Amino acid sequence: MTLEEELDLIKKAKARVSELDLEKRKVFDDLVQEIEPSGRLESTMWDYVMAGINCYEYDLEPLLKNRAKTLDAE
């Protein structure tokens, strides 16, 4: 494989990853629109869904249950 071919493959991979990032963001935006979370819940959802921080899984249930009691709830 030539240098130009390798560079072309790298550029194509970069473009594909950018497309995936946009798709991921749309999935998250749809989730936010459906759940209508408070600021804290949305931040925790972002960390869990988008950043993949699995320990936040255990924070989601209490935030969902108590969102009417939080200071930033609407």
Report d(CA 49, CA 37) in Å as an integer.
Answer: 14
- Contact by Cβ (8 Å): 38, 72: yes
Per-residue pLDDT tens listing for the chain (74 residues): 999 999 999 999 999 999 999 999 999 999 999 999 988 899 999 999 999 999 999 999 999 888 766 555 45
Token pair of 52 as six digits: 């993949």
Assessment of whether the complete model's pTM goes beyond 0.85: no
- What integer pLDDT is reported at residue 70 of this predicted model? 55
Report d(CA 20, CA 65) in Å as an integer.
Answer: 32
If you count DSSP H runs as helices and E runs as strands, how many of each does the chain have, helices first?
A: 3, 0
SS3 state of residue 68? coil
